[in-house]
Amino acid sequence: MDQDTLVVDSSFIQPIQHRPKLYPFQPATDQVPTIDLSISPSRTTQHLVSEIASACQNWGFFQVINHGVSLETLARFEKAAKLFFDQTMEEKRKVKRDAGNAVGFYDGENTKNVRDWKEVFDFLVKDGTFFPASHDPNDTKLKVLFNHWPEYPPGFREMCEEYARELELLAHKLLRLILLSLGLSGADGLKGYFNDEQMSLMRLNRYPPCPSPDLVLGVGRHKDSGALTILAQDAVGGLQVRRKSDGQWIPVKPIPNAYIVNIGDVVQVWSNDKYESVEHRVVVNSEKERYSFPFFFFPAHHMMVKPLEEVVDEQNPPKYREYNFGKFIASRSHGNENQEVENIQIHHFRARLHQ
């Protein structure tokens, strides 16, 4: 390509095979299942659990309605997010992410070594989260991370915290249903890892309009590392999911007030590959900015992630060796900051099985 024709910085340009196919226009359909979380005499927990099981197995993604999150809280939070991002770069950079603490504002994130066309604001669901001090497996030291809050808009912190509390309740509800769908009687044994010491992160994404949407991605293809991701998106659309049956990229249709849920790497390992953490990416457009708000439900740093005992047996031996969740995340951020390091993936923990 002639460099003169580039209207976006070359750091954003995707390799040809990963660029989005924008033509012919592919309208978002509702192929990704939508699940009603309400329970009634005609719709028992058992029904719900079986719908979740098939969505997790077939797609790794589903949308939920009647999820119990207050729509007023969501609307207040969305409004505050827009006010924050509408400020000048200079203002936003006052709460910029720093090397040792990946919270706050950032507009230079890479996925697979290509820059994403987005701005983010991140905050920890538990202010004062324990995190491994380094990615070195022999280093047992911890550090405590605290959020960076902007002064504007007024009440931003309170609105973010109120919203995160609602999302945490939904995350616990979904985790329980997913574990029931894997044959566990409840989430009791695992719940403890998702309380005060959870490493969960709430992200606010703004994808600005882009003059060359055919060359870039809002977020490059990736899988999420946590247990679950619960995402609110606005009406613009842009999220695409890799369909398991044929590897095609399928747009996820925006449904007002619904949440998109996807299985992360932790659930893939727990389920011993019954459920898969599915690849997804974000396509941008030349006209409209888009907002999305993922809640990454992460266990405590000390959790050892491995296939659940209830899932494995002699016919289905564990496909993974256990790994430490905190070190996994620390290695991920080390890889993102140092482009020569290959990002750690759960397949690095695959067990060598006897044939």
Ligand X SMILES: O=C(O)CCC(=O)C(=O)O
Query: Where do contacts with ligand X occur on this chain (CB under 6 A)?
Result: 203, 205, 219, 224, 231, 233, 239, 280, 282, 292, 294
In the complex with ligand X, the residue whose CB is nearer, 97 or 280, is 280
Complex with ligand X: residue 210 or 308, whichever CB lies closer: 210
Calpha distance 70→123 (Å, rounded):
20
**Residue 331 binding target from ligand X, Fe ion, none, CB below 5 to 8 Å by type:** none
Find the largest Cα–Cα distance for the chain: 65
Q: How far is the CB of 295 from ligand X (least distance, A)?
A: 10
Single out the residue of 168, 224, 265, 276 in contact with Fe ion (rule: CB under 5 A). 224
CB of 237 to ligand X, least distance (A): 9
User: 228 touches which of ligand X, Fe ion, none (CB within 5 to 8 A by kind)?
Assistant: none
CA distance 354 to 274: 19
Q: Please identify, using beta-carbon distances, which residue of 203 and 319 lies nearer to ligand X.
A: 203
Question: What letter would DSSP give residue 126?
Answer: S
Q: Which is nearer to ligand X, 233 or 331 (CB)?
A: 233
Nearer to ligand X, 182 or 232 (CB): 232
Q: Are 39 and 48 in contact (CB under 8 A)?
A: yes
Closest to ligand X by CB, 119 or 184? 119
Residue 292 interacts, among Fe ion, ligand X, none and using kind-specific CB cut-offs from 5 to 8 Å, with: ligand X
Cβ–Cβ < 8 Å for 237, 251 = yes
Separation of alpha carbons 28 and 16, rounded Å? 23
Give the span between the Cα atoms of 177 and 263, in whole angstroms: 12
**Count of residues that interact with Fe ion, criterion CB under 5 A:** 1
> CB of 5: closest distance to Fe ion in angstroms?
31
Distinct helix (H) and strand (E) counts, the chain: 7, 18
- DSSP class of residue 201 equals E
The CB-nearest residue to Fe ion is: 224
How far apart are the C-alpha atoms of 113 and 99, rounded to whole Å? 18
How far apart CA 341 and CA 330 sit, in angstroms, is: 13
265 touching Fe ion, by CB under 5 A: no
Q: What is the binding site for Fe ion (CB under 5 A)? A: 224
